[in-house]
Structure 1
Amino acid sequence: MFEKLGFKKRPQQQDNSSLPVLTPVDLDDVAEEYAEAYDEQGFWSKCKRYARSIGRVGLEKAFTLYYATEHKNCTLAHKTAIYGALGYLLTPIDAIPDLTPFLGYTDDISLIGAALIAVASCIDESVKHKAKHRVSRLLGEGALEGVRECKVEDRNAVLSVWLTASIKAHDFVPPDFWAEQVSAMRDGYLPSAQVYVYEREGQVVGFYALRHNTLAALFVAPDYQSQGIGRELLEHAKAEQDSLTLSVFKANGAAIGFYLRQGFKVASEQVNPATEQPEFVMVWVAG
């Protein structure tokens, strides 16, 4: 179903022209050749390579484009935009490098977004339903797992992870203290930070928040701890900055041990003004 755009080089004419002329290959001529490689399963197998970075919403957009080609309004021009976007996203080796710049595409996500706008007349509720249903089935199979950028719709899940994990990790602080901070986290703290989440089977189970090079938060839901998720989140944060600074309660021995194992060092000690609990300032610098 996914037909690749191809071009054949016309032999250079016997004139002074120094540029080869490209003639399009008929899409129908190559459709059958690529149908098997880009059936639904083949399409998904390629999507998996990008699933961590684009997340559920990104996958739904990609599958929306995929199913838009089946719409009655989908013309050759629409298919050109769709195949250009999906081809660039999923099969860079097969994409046409000289085509995408002229379409105004600069990266994978903008490719998908621009194509969705260009083919809006081919996207109805049926197309959207097919995309959502297919992604739900795939994620139900545990196909998507990893770190991705936090989206607005993730905020409640992030707050839930933060609250439950904070209460468990900080039994030396009254639980009511954390419950009273939820509004501040939701309305001020999270919107002002760069937040990434860890998604497993469509569920946010961990996150970290950066403010410049300060690791302001890193939490994993209690039921998902000791599974390497915290380490993956921290490795992702390290890739974002050349150095990281964080504060951790002195009484939280498990967290201190974790950060020490990940290359952090204790730089100083201070008292947390909100809880009046002593805490360490720890620092990591890229080697």
Structure 2
Amino acid sequence: MDDVKIGEILLPGDEETQDKQEAKVRRRFWPTFKKAARQIPFSRDLAAAYYCAMDRETPLRVRGILLAALGYFVLPIDAIPDVLAVVGFTDDIAVLTTAFTLINRHIKERHYEAADRVLADDATQA
């Protein structure tokens, strides 16, 4: 990740950019999440961040930062390929941790409740 700065990845972009990013995140988030959930120590926060990013009440800049971070997370090819077991998600973790630090007060209890419901559903299906 030396040649790509996290700050550049997390640029919120304009509404059109966010709309494109949202569509990509909606399509790819849950399949990627299911592959990564055991390797990422903050799966609940990640799922809550997804719901926060999809919430139209979340401020535009915050949504943009989250969509950028989640977009990086769902990219099949990034600085360290995700297929490399535990190591593959380390760059994603760095980007997501930075995004959470910037916006964590915007992730509301309702976002965590939605995350808890989906995580509980996953646990019962496993």
Deviations 1:147-184 (Å, cap 9, x if unpaired)? xxxxxxxxxxxxxxxxxxxxxxxxxxxxxxxxxxxxxx
Question: SS of 1:60's equivalent?
Answer: helix
Equivalences, count = 104
TM-aligned CA deviation for residue 91 of structure 1: 1.1
Aligned mates of 1:126, 1:33 — CA distance in 2: 23
- Aligned equivalent of 1:27: 15
Q: Please say if 1:52 is aligned against 2:38.
A: yes
- Cα separation, partners in 2 of 1:114 and 1:29, compared to 1, 3 Å: closer
Aligned mates of 1:126, 1:25 — CA distance in 2: 25
RMSD: 3.0
Which one of 76, 79, 95 corresponds to residue 60 of structure 2?
76
Question: SS of 2:25's equivalent?
Answer: coil
Deviations 1:52-78 (Å, cap 9, x if unpaired)? 311xx5221211111112162x22321
- Aligned equivalent of 1:265: none
- Cα separation, partners in 2 of 1:71 and 1:60, compared to 1, 3 Å: farther
Aligned mates of 1:29, 1:108 — CA distance in 2: 20
Ranges in structure 2 where 5+ consecutive residues have no aligned partner: 1-11, 80-89
The one-letter code sitting in structure 2 at the alignment partner of 1:87 is G
After the TM superposition, list the runs of 4 or more consecutive aligned residues in structure 1 that deviate by more than 4 angstroms: none
TM-aligned CA deviation for residue 44 of structure 1: 0.9
Tell me which protein shows more strand as a share of its residues. Answer: 1
TM-score by length of 2: 0.63
- Cα separation, partners in 2 of 1:71 and 1:122, compared to 1, 3 Å: farther
Tell me which protein shows more helix as a share of its residues. Answer: 2
Q: Please say if 1:43 is aligned against 2:29.
A: yes
Which one of 101, 114, 121 corresponds to residue 137 of structure 1?
121
Structure number with higher relative contact order (C-alpha < 8 Å, ≥ 6 residues apart):
2
- Aligned equivalent of 2:50: 66
Which one of 54, 57, 71 corresponds to residue 87 of structure 1?
71
Identity of counterpart residues, as a percentage? 25
TM-score by length of 1: 0.31
Which is higher, the Rg of structure 1 or of structure 2?
1
- Aligned equivalent of 1:113: 97
Aligned mates of 1:49, 1:128 — CA distance in 2: 20
- Aligned equivalent of 2:8: none
